[in-house]
Each structure stands twice: as structure tokens, then as C-alpha cells.
Amino acid sequence: MTKDKAVQTFLDGYNCAQSVVSAFSEDMGLQKEHALKLAAGLGAGLNYQGKTCGAVLGAYIILGLRYGTDISNNQEGKLKLRKILDQFSKEFKAEYSSLECREILGLDVSKEEELEQLRKKNAFEEICPVVVETASKVLEKILKESEY
């Protein structure tokens, strides 16, 4: 399953965004190497800023590839994508109550002392793989069920 690929990619040392994007990349016509590079700066909530979770950002990239529009001013297409992204966010937040890395982890990766606490608590080995799996499961579900 794709969620398993995403988790394994994370465990292999890639960030959460890279893990999600690369696991779904080939189905979207994107080479895995390009997917890994595309998402490289998005881990830990936008390059260790603690903002939107990288797994969420990775899912947004995949949903954009599947449902996004490449036609300028396509308001209908933009609205469809917005609804899909809202659905993902709602389902993800049902699990974590937030899309924010710092809120999911309980500490702020943008602060060196809190980042060190996360490392000592093995948060990146214990929490993040589960978050990657959750984001991937929600993404798989939406990709299978969406009528858009």
C-alpha cells in the first residue's frame, strides 16, 4: 500500500513531505527523484519553522497534481481543488486537531531547545511516522473516493 511506502521512505531518512509526495509520485506521473527534490524544503513545518506539517503539505502537492488546474482563471477548477483540500484538512484534523507541526508534536521545531527536546523524546521516530501514515491514509481515501 502507498501509506506503507510513505512510512518506509520516512524511516529511510527522508522528511515527512518527501515521504508522502514520493510514495504517490509515480501514480501522478512524477518521477520519484523529482518528487523527493520538490518536497525537500517542506519538512518539519516548512523547513523547521513548525508551521503546516510536511505530511500535509505533501498531500496537498499530490492533490494539486491530481485535481489542480493548469488553466489560468479557471475558477471552477480552483473551487474543486479547494473543496478537495478542505476535505483532506478536515479528515486529518479529526485525528490531530491541527495541521501545524508544532501543535502535532507538542513542541516547536523552530526553537533549538524544543527541537532538542523532541530529539531526546524520539518524537521524530515515534510520532512522525504515524503522522505520515495518517496523512497517506487520508490521501489514499480521497484519491479513491473523490468524484471531482
Local structure of residue 26 (DSSP, 8 states): G
Residue 52: name the closest of 78, 2, 88 by CA. 88
Write the single-letter amino acid at 96: Y
pLDDT tens digit string along 53-64?
A: 999 999 999 999
**The predicted structure's pLDDT at residue 98:** 97
Q: What is the DSSP string of 85-106?
A: HHHHHHHHHHHHS-SBHHHHHS
pLDDT tens digit string along 41-84?
A: 999 999 999 999 999 999 999 999 999 999 999 999 999 999 99
Whether residue 126 contacts residue 133, with contact meaning beta carbons closer than 8 Å, is answered with no
123 grid coordinates: 518524537
**The predicted structure's pLDDT at residue 127:** 97
Task: Give the start-to-end residue ranges of the domains of the chain.
Answer: 2-145
Task: State the angle between helix axes of 16-25 and 54-67 in degrees (0 to 180), rounded to the nearest 10.
Answer: 30
pLDDT tens digit string along 121-139?
A: 999 999 999 999 999 999 9
CB atoms inside a 10 Å sphere around CB 89 = 16
- Give the number of residues written for the chain: 148
Indicate the pLDDT class of residue 39, thresholds 50, 70 and 90.
very high
As beta bridge partners, residue 52 has 100
